[in-house]
Amino acid sequence: MLILPAIDLKDNKCVRLTQGDFNRVKEYSAKPLAVALKWQEEGAGYLHLVDLDGARSEALLNRPSIEAIVENIKIPVQIGGGIRDEKKVKAFLDLGVARVILGTVAVRNRALLERLLADFGSDKIIVSIDAKNGKVATEGWAQVSQIDALDLCHELEKSGVKTIVYTDIAKDGMLQGPNFKMYEELMEKTDLALIASGGVTSLEDVKRLKSMQVYGAIIGKAFYDQKLSFKEVVACLR
């Protein structure tokens, strides 16, 4: 199972939001590149970047940090946050990002999603599903729809999506454990490669996700608040 440390970028700083709330921001570092290099040194095989400003603005405000990370580390990077058109997808892939994560646009514009999958491939284009109580949230978590998350997964599979990041907003940044019930359902009822996100707090959480054979787990706050260390997580997966 792949462990992806999260680097959430806002104003070119490494931060964490609690439950996606921009009013509940905690800054962890003013030097995102140093954070990325730290994860690489500790043995991370992949990084998960989130352009938080991108989720609310079309401008690439965090481009300096993203460029610096991609140019200076040797491990692959995936990025999400406000990527809603082909221009932004291409801009990130041209920077050297390995995978681009689509969110709102995958829900709203299926034709564009399918075109991007055809143009760039399902290894480069993955989809993030952010949900609350099993319903899909969009626009940087600002709006919760009536779309059922599992139904959306089935539709995405039909469109050619192979990998998803599934975040339970109610769990994200709360350090209360993941939504195992939902992950079990997704593993049982879809063939998608699942990256679990939100609430991973303990080694028991990590072991349970591994036993469910999920493809990967994104860990953010538990690392930054030192509830978990990368080394002990990797050790428990051996």
Active site residues: 8, 130
Report the alpha-carbon distance of residue 132 to residue 120 in Å, rounded: 30
DSSP secondary structure of 68-93: HHHHH-SS-EEEESS--SHHHHHHHH
Give the count of alpha carbons within 13 A of 126, CB side only: 23
Report the alpha-carbon distance of residue 98 to residue 8 in Å, rounded: 17
Burial classification of residue 153, based on how many CB atoms lie within 10 Å of its CB (0-12 exposed, 13-18 middle, 19 or more buried): buried
Burial classification of residue 94, based on how many CB atoms lie within 10 Å of its CB (0-12 exposed, 13-18 middle, 19 or more buried): exposed
